[in-house]
Amino acid sequence: MRANIRKVARFFVAGFVVIILILTNLTVIKRERLMASPYNKHRLSGWDTQSHRGGIYDYRGEVLAVTDNKSRRRHYPRGKTMAPVLGYLDPNIGAAGLEARYSAELGGWPSFWAALGFGLPLTPVGEDLILTVNANLQQLAMDCLAGYHGAAVVLDPRTGAVLALASQPSFDPEHIAQEWGNVYQDAASPLLNRAVQGLYPPGSILKLLTMASALSQKPDLATRLYNCSGTAYGIRCSEPHGELDLVTALAVSCNTVFAELGVELGNGILAQQAKRIWFNRSIPFELPLAVSLFSSGQADDNETAQRAIGQGQIVVTPMQMALLTAAIAGEGVIWQPYLVQERHLAGRVFVQTKPRKLASFISPAVATALTEAMIEVSERGTGTGMFLPGVKVAGKTGTAENPHGAPHAWYVGFAPADNPRVVVTVLVENAGSGAAAALPLARQLLGLALEEVS
């Protein structure tokens, strides 16, 4: 009798363990795929008709998305400004952005509850999301890019918190249903979130990666004198710079020095350093983030030289370059980027995001050396237009050749250089010089960010 009872007990325990494993697989491991699945019938308006969808707020509590009590329609007070972050929600079209990523939580359907297939929400009121985003900074980023095709990312390098995530052109999430036909077919691709899904040649801002590789693998290269004759491996420089050191080469963005440096290091070392900053891998983030690519395969000297200056077979997202810059500002540490600071339920903090270290890119000593070189860029090089009264800025301009049209303009930087609080990355498509087109926008963003971020 006791033996039979033990067998039955073991059977139920085993069954319970199997159920737990299945639910863990569904609610944790496969959560993203399940949430995005077109067969998930609990994703959208069905939840909103059975529970009150939670609101979304910026870090100071400003309302960014809220559901009307009577109509149950979603209201977005900032309109197009917050679309790159919030996305949209419509019963017929679907969802995007944070509205899609946190649809279960906002709708009162925790992931384990939805996985169990219950037909009613767990709570009558969904969770509220408190973001890391500064609405004023987001507004300025979108205003700066208005009239352009481009993107901007502003990060706190100490935590990975995203302070602004801009992409232009944009769309109005509140009227997405009425405007869907025009928005969907628009050749300017307003639905493309260029900050996280756009892939571009990085141009000269990738020289930061090449210099990081050199200082990490062969420190003696930092003190060597180089000679720029104006051309190397088929790559032309803006002018023959003559004899110069590596810091000066970065300041004036000398192509030939970095081309020769890349060939000396070899593609293998460059690719290895790129891997440390999460190239060729999916970076964890609340929004879909395209994978930046740096080929680790065989490359001849000409192709290696191209990659060393940010051309050739390399494409990056603006978020990727923001993280690279943040790693330099953060003494070599890469913090996982995030948008949601807290999740509230019934007026109380339910979940709070803690900064999470993603990886180590370079040593603190190399980060310091790169910072000093980037200060030279701002004070005596291509980035002298980045002037903020009383603040030292570490930065790098970039002009990326584009096989499909005019060059893309880039700027990456952080401030204050001696105690970084803010990282900014700006990309302007087909705008030419980074110093002329991207830097002035970045200067405005850095100025406001330093006022807003303590």
Question: Residue 73 has what pLDDT?
Answer: 87
The predicted pLDDT at position 45 comes to 39
| Residue 375: HSE in the Cβ half-sphere, 13 Å Cα cutoff | 15
Tokens 């030419």 sit on residue: 432
pLDDT tier, 350 (very low <50, low <70, confident <90, very high otherwise) = confident
Please, which residues have CB within 8 angstroms of residue 163's CB and are 6 or more apart in sequence?
Answer: 132, 133, 134, 137, 154, 155, 156, 422, 449, 452, 453
Q: In the structure, what pLDDT confidence band is assigned to residue 112 with cuts at 50, 70 and 90?
A: low
Instruction: Enter the tokens of residue 54.
Output: 């939670």
In this predicted structure, the answer to whether residue 31 has a pLDDT above a threshold of 60 is no
In the chain, where the domains are located: 43-129, 196-339+355-452
Residue 412 has pLDDT above 70, yes or no: yes
Q: What is the pTM of this model?
A: 0.88
How far, in Å, are 115, 214, 264, 293 from residue 218 at the CA level? Answer: 52, 5, 10, 24
Other beta carbons within 10 angstroms of residue 1's beta carbon come to 5
Question: Across the chain, which distance is largest between two alpha carbons, in Å?
Answer: 94
Which tokens hold the place of 254? 């000398």
Check whether 146 has a pLDDT greater than 80. Answer: yes
Tell me, what DSSP letter sits at residue 402?
A: E
Q: Which of 371, 359, 384, 344 is nearest to 130 (CA)?
A: 344
Instruction: Give the model's pLDDT for residue 384.
Output: 96
**169 prior amide bond cis, ω within 30:** yes
pLDDT at 448: 97
Average pLDDT rounded to a whole number, residues 369-391:
96
For residues 289-294, average pLDDT: 98
Closest CA to 290 of 446, 144, 151, 431: 151
Nearest to 258 by CA among 213, 299, 297, 288: 213
Task: Return mean pLDDT, the chain.
Answer: 89
Q: What topology is assigned to 196-339+355-452 in CATH?
A: Beta-lactamase (3.40.710)
Please give the angle made by the CA atoms of 85, 91 and 96, to the nearest 5 degrees: 20
Question: What average pLDDT score do residues 111-130 get?
Answer: 69
Q: Which CATH number fits domain 43-129: 3.90.1310.10, 3.40.50.1980, 3.20.19.10, 3.30.70.100?
A: 3.90.1310.10
What is the reported pLDDT for 278? 96
